């Protein structure tokens, strides 16, 4: 599973990265979590508002930090 957290490194971007890492650990999922901070790559991925969350190439969230339970559900949908 490939998970990308997109954002320039703001407070919310870091919060989303922490939520994702916690969710992956709790679900015991074999996932690679990448942090994408390059503005060009963020726009190229189709994310116009950060933070963004992409799981297996699908945009799951933009412009907010979802709760951990919501992130876990998003991950489970892609398993």
Write out pLDDT tens, residues 27-41.
999 999 999 999 999
- 76: confidence class by pLDDT, cuts 50, 70, 90: very high
- For the segment 17-28, what is each residue's pLDDT rounded down to a tens digit? 999 999 999 999
Set 3, 5, 13, 71: catalytic member: 13
Q: 37 CB contacts (<8 Å, ≥6 apart)?
A: 7, 8, 9, 13
Q: Does the annotation mark 65 as catalytic?
A: no
pLDDT score at 63: 97
Query: Hey, which CATH number is domain 2-74, 3.30.450.40, 1.10.3290.10, 3.20.20.70, 3.40.30.10?
Result: 3.40.30.10
Sequence ranges of the domains in the chain? 2-74
Pairing label, strands 32-36, 2-6:
parallel
- Give the span between the Cα atoms of 44 and 64, in whole angstroms: 19
Active site residue 10: yes
Query: 5: closest CA among 69, 41, 25?
Result: 41
Choosing from 2, 8, 9, 10, which is the catalytic residue? 10
């Amino acid at each position: 599973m490939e998970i990308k957290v997109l954002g320039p490194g703001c407070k919310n971007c870091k919060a989303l990265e922490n939520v994702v890492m916690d969710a992956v650990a709790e679900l015991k999922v074999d996932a690679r979590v990448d942090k994408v901070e390059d503005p060009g790559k963020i726009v190229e991925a189709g994310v116009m508002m950060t933070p963004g969350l992409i799981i297996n190439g699908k945009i799951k969230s933009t412009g907010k930090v979802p709760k951990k339970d919501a992130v876990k559900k998003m991950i489970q949908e892609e398993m």
